[in-house]
Amino acid sequence: MVGVGRALGGRVVTNRDLETVLDTSDEWISTRTGIRERRFVTDGQDTVTLAVEASRKALAHAGVPGESVDLVVCATSTGPASMPSVACLIGEAVGAVGVGALDVAAACAGFSYAAAVASSMLESGVARRALVVGADAMTAIVDQRDRSTAVLFGDGAGAVVLDSGDESSGFVDHILGADGRMAPLGYAGHPGNGDKLYQNGREVFKFAVRIFPEMVEKLLARNGISLEEVQYIIPHQANARIIQAAMRKLDVPEEKVVINVDRFGNTSAASIPISYPDIYESLEPGRYVITVGFGFGLTWAANLYRI
């Protein structure tokens, strides 16, 4: 991972702002979710513009031109059209034209899926440099009158540049899972729900608290490493209470866990890559980062990255 970048919706929306339009309060939101503010897109912004901005920042951080990228993978559930893919539009915008480009739809687990796809293609030799993006403008699908979901979500994008040149570091293991039997617990785009997002918050919470530590423990066990060797765990930023409950099960100290849901809310597939700019400069070679995603589908995925 040689470059990282992020982009956020241009409008900061605090809990106090939501108090004026919903039957809710700052205390209710912050106590139950850990969220204090989130970012909403403004005029001229959408999933594509956020993804392109984050991608350009990641390429600049890596010090490489877009023309050097030979694979673009974008995790998103909120592209402005079913075709073309967001990844295709990203490639055109950054100069990665004529290379492989595909979207991955796995909801909030999307970036972990995309990282598995891209790193596997690098390992196989299909590509040598990949741009991997998680981007969602959740305000496009959230019913802003529904206080059970409107307080949770924000808009953003995160991008990373993966290079196959350094065999001493990179993604070394992945877990991917899904269970369509739990599809009724969360969905969007169904005409019966006005095409807006629905979730059974209680059941999704229970699922996430269970699957999160299971994936971490599985990655550690099958790769023969300990939690002491892990520098950071980056969870999907759905809800601070989910993260805290999972960390108690794992007995992980707070300083190992990256949390920014308080600032950005739940940005779906973007929440994990949005976190990388906060920690990238502090990464210690030889240690590990674990990323964990879980979302509608229901889907789940985790990645083990050696720094």
- Report DSSP letters for 165-221, one per residue: T-TTSEEEEEEEEE-GGGGGGEE---GGGTT--EE-HHHHHHHHHHHHHHHHHHHHH
Task: Using a cut of 0.85, tell me whether the model's pTM lies above it.
Answer: yes
Cα 129 from Cα 2, distance rounded (Å): 10
Burial degree of 221 (CB within 10 A; 0-12, 13-18, 19+): exposed
Answer whether 80's CB lies under 8 Å from 46's CB.
yes
Burial degree of 167 (CB within 10 A; 0-12, 13-18, 19+): exposed
Answer whether 100's CB lies under 8 Å from 122's CB.
no
Q: Is the peptide bond before 250 cis (omega within 30 degrees of 0)?
A: no
Domains of the chain: 3-163 (3.40.47.10), 170-306 (3.40.47.10)
Cα 109 from Cα 105, distance rounded (Å): 9
Task: For residue 60, give every residue at least 6 positions away whose Cβ sits within 8 Å of its Cβ, in sequence order, or none.
Answer: 3, 5
Closest of 218, 283, 208 to residue 247, by C-alpha? 208
Answer whether 10's CB lies under 8 Å from 39's CB.
yes
Query: What rounded mean pLDDT belongs to the chain?
Result: 96
The pLDDT tens digits of the residues spanning 142-179 come to: 999 999 999 999 999 999 999 997 778 999 999 999 99
Inform me whether the pLDDT recorded for 246 exceeds 80.
yes
Quickly list DSSP for 121-155.
HHHHTS-SEEEEEEEEEGGGTS-TT-HHHHTTB-E
Which residues are the active-site residues?
Answer: 108, 236, 266
pLDDT of residue 171: 96
Cα 120 from Cα 150, distance rounded (Å): 36
> What's the distance, Cα to Cα, between the start and end of the chain in Å?
8
The pLDDT tens digits of the residues spanning 11-61 come to: 999 999 999 999 999 999 999 999 999 999 999 999 999 999 999 999 999
User: How many CA within 13 A on the CB side of residue 46?
Assistant: 12
Q: Number of helices (H) and strands (E), helices first, in the chain?
A: 10, 13
Inform me whether the pLDDT recorded for 109 exceeds 80.
yes
